[in-house]
Amino acid sequence: MDVVLIDSGGANIGSVRYAFERLGVRARLSADPGEIAAADRVVLPGVGAAAAGMARLRALGLVELVRGLRQPLLGICLGMQLLFEASEEGETECLGLLPGRVRKLAGGPGLRVPHMGWNALARRREDPLLAGIGDGAQAYFVHGYAAPVSADTLAASEHGEAFAAVVRRGRCWGAQFHPERSAAVGARLLENFLSERLA
């Protein structure tokens, strides 16, 4: 299995690579269009601000390439947010692979933003990416912005309001939480992403 992590500059890239290594897969970090286009699986990791993430993809000449990928693509954390049409963080135009606009979490009494820590996943739809991950499973989140719950939401979570925790449209999947920091649940999600059922 040839897995490529897009070199998006996120601080979580090393830990995502190590998470795949624990599954016996050596994921390569690359900004080379040819390598990315030829991979069996592509991962778009990311930590930080939407504007900076999109600026890096543009600087590397990868925006249209990512939009046109035909193999399974998984966005993680900011990488998932970049799959949407836009983010109100810096009024940023994103990749547009999923409809919707990423918005700042409102928080509320006793709820800090950014949302940091373990939270439950509420399954909304069946999907091979969630095989073996039960309703109410706990995952680890670190984010201040989130995508709305929509028809593309596979699992939601809640922090003052419901938000999309796992999404899918066609060959694009996204996880708002950090699989590489989510113990067995995260490992299972990455393992499912490698499954032939997603091909």
Active site residues: 77, 178, 180
Query: Can you read off the two tokens belonging to residue 55?
Result: 């600026």
Q: Which residues contact 193 (CB under 8 A, 6 or more apart)?
A: 41, 43, 72, 74, 129, 173
Query: Can you read off the two tokens belonging to residue 164?
Result: 């999309």
CA distance 133 to 139: 10
Q: Checking DSSP bridges between strand 98-104 and strand 84-87, what pairing results, if any?
A: parallel
Query: Which residues does residue 41 pair with via DSSP β-bridges, in sequence order?
Result: 3
3-state secondary structure of 39: coil
